[in-house]
Structures are given as structure tokens and as C-alpha cells.
Amino acid sequence: MTQRADATAKSTVRHHLRVSARNRLLELGPQSLSDVELVAMLLAVPSAQCAHARATQLLATHGTIRMLLNARPGRNSSGSIDDRSYAVLQAALELAKRHYQELMQLGPVLSNAKATREYLRMRLRDLPHEVFGILYLNNRHRVLRFSELFRGTIDRSSVHPREVVKEALANNAAAAILVHNHPCGVAEPSPLDELITCRLVAALSLVDIQVIDHLIVGDGAIESFAERGLL
């Protein structure tokens, strides 16, 4: 094969990869693309063929999309993520979080339960430390905002009812959903979780703020105190 013919063949392959993935996305939706194709569309590399190869390499190195999105940038190996690709992937992840945040805020939180849980899962699931936060709701149970209040080991001494009440009043909340994550991945409520919930329910009730649930974010599940009859 001549150099010119070889160049033409490579150009055809690059064009096919780029157009094929883009057309399928436009015609069938993004769910029709493979993991590699989705990552390749985001990577800032010279050609579609190179992007496909790079995406394949990154996913093979990190194993899953989740691990890839949680990886830090570096230049130590061929499987490392460069700063530019890292920034693009993180921007895509942040857009997804904001998408679910907007869906969550469209109406009463109980009618947007799926969007609410997806938002909290994306926000808290992969954190290496515990976070305790609150979804503040108005009198129609629409989300006003989500606030992270405490970080570290969530226990009786680290979750201060006074601060929770202060923040709830500052946000003009009529109701609240307590939220925290279990970095170990197991979302099962502990006796301590139940004790903290009781303390906060009592404290917030003094200022007429109703706690309608306490959600625990684990690796694959989100457990609800209300659904378990614990609230």
C-alpha cells in the first residue's frame, strides 16, 4: 500500500469513527454509545481514532467509568489522565450533578424521589470521608438548597443540634431531610445514626421544622429512615 493510500485509509477510519458515534448519538441517543465511545467524545486528542484508542487505554487501566472519574491527573504512565482530559471529564460529571439538582428542585421532593437520590448519590457516594448534610425544604416540600454541615466521623459530638437549627432557620426551612454517607459502602443505619436522628428531630421540632426523612448514602443503595419506619 502506498503512503498516499495508507493516509487515505487512516483518514477514512478516523472519519467513520467520528461520524458513526456522533450519528448514533443524534439518532438513537447517548445510551446507544459504548463506554469507550462516550469517553472518546470528551477527550481532547487530535483525531477520533486517537481518542478511541486513548479512551480504551484509560478504561482498561482504571477498570470502570466510576474509577476513571475518581482518578486524579498524573503523568506517571500511559494510563494516567492528563490535566486537560481530567478537566473535561470532571466538567461532564459536574454537569450531570447539576442536571439532577435541577430535576430535584422542579417540584415537591417526594415526587422527585429518584432525582433526589441520584443527586445525593453523585454528590456523596465516592467521598473518602463522612459528610453530614441537610436538604432544606419550603412549606410545599420543594428543595431550597442542600448544605454540607459536618465532615469527619459522624457521631454525637460532631453533629451539633444547635448548628443544625441555626442553619435551618437561616434558610427559612419549613422541613428538612437529613443526609449522610457511609464511605465503607454499607448504607445500613447504625444505632448511633438512630440516636443522632432522634436528637435532631427533637431539636428542629422546637422551631416547627419537620424532619421528613434521613437518607444514608452507601455504595449501591440509599437507605431511608422513613421507609424503614424509623422516623
81 pLDDT exceeds 60? yes
Give ∠ CA 93-31-106 in degrees, rounded to 5: 55
- Choose between 17 and 170: higher pLDDT: 170
What domains appear along the chain, each with residue ranges and CATH number? 3-96 (no CATH), 109-224 (3.40.140.10)
Q: Is the pLDDT of residue 157 over 70?
A: no
- Confidence tier at 10 by pLDDT (50, 70, 90): very low
pLDDT band at 109 (very low <50, low <70, confident <90, very high): confident
Residue percentage of the chain with pLDDT more than 70: 85
Report the mean per-residue pLDDT for the chain: 82
Which tens digit of pLDDT belongs to each residue from 220-229?
789 999 999 9
Predicted confidence band at 8 (pLDDT cuts at 50, 70, 90)? Answer: very low
Identify the pLDDT of residue 45.
64
Cell numbers found for residue 162 = 444547635
Residue 81 DSSP symbol: B
Strand partners, 124: none
SS3 142: strand
Per residue in 42-60, pLDDT tens? 776 666 678 778 888 888 8
Q: According to the model, what pLDDT value does residue 223 have?
A: 93
Give every CB contact of residue 135 below 8 A, 6+ residues apart in sequence: 109, 116, 143, 145, 146, 176, 177, 179
Mean pLDDT for 56-75 is 80
Q: What is the mean pLDDT of residues 147-173?
A: 85
Q: What is the pTM of this model?
A: 0.69
From 40-49, 60-69, 181-190, 198-207, the region with the lowest mean pLDDT: 40-49
Among 77-86, 146-155, 168-177, which stretch is predicted with the lowest mean pLDDT? 77-86
Q: Residue 196's pLDDT is what? A: 92
Using a pLDDT cut of 90, give the percent of the chain over it.
31
pLDDT 10s digits, 115-137: 888 889 888 888 888 999 999 99
Interhelix angle 48-62/3-28, nearest 10 degrees:
70
> Does pLDDT of 80 surpass 80?
no
Here the cell at position 21 is 458515534
